[in-house]
A = this chain, B = another copy of it.
């Protein structure tokens, strides 16, 4: 995803969050939206993205519809019912994770 390896482990919840907020999305669109939202900070690589999306599909977290736009393929992903439940859990974990990081990186403010 990026040189600075901080993002390792966060890709799945990030994608779930995107799908939760924006409904149906295709892979390339996800990479562009994340790049935009984070002002270029976070660049998802294809080698990380597509295998993960395929895994989520296998697990029944997302479902897909393939469309032809002009002559080009697009594979749209959306959360299943199970996926929505899973996303709620993932968001709670993210919240706790981010709070923990805050405690460490900004102890004075965090404890106040």
Contact = CB atoms under 8 A, between A and B. Distances in A.
A107 to B, nearest CB: 7
B37 A93 contact: no
A10 B102 CA distance: 12
Given A37-B104, A102-B98, A103-B38, A7 B4 contact: no
A72 interface: no
A49 to B, nearest CB: 15
A103 B39 CA distance: 10
A93 B6 contact: yes
Contact of A104 (B34, B100, B107): B34
A24 to B, nearest CB: 18
Q: Which of A17, A18, A102 has the most CB of B within 10 A?
A: A17
Interface string A73-109: 0000000000000000001011111111111110100
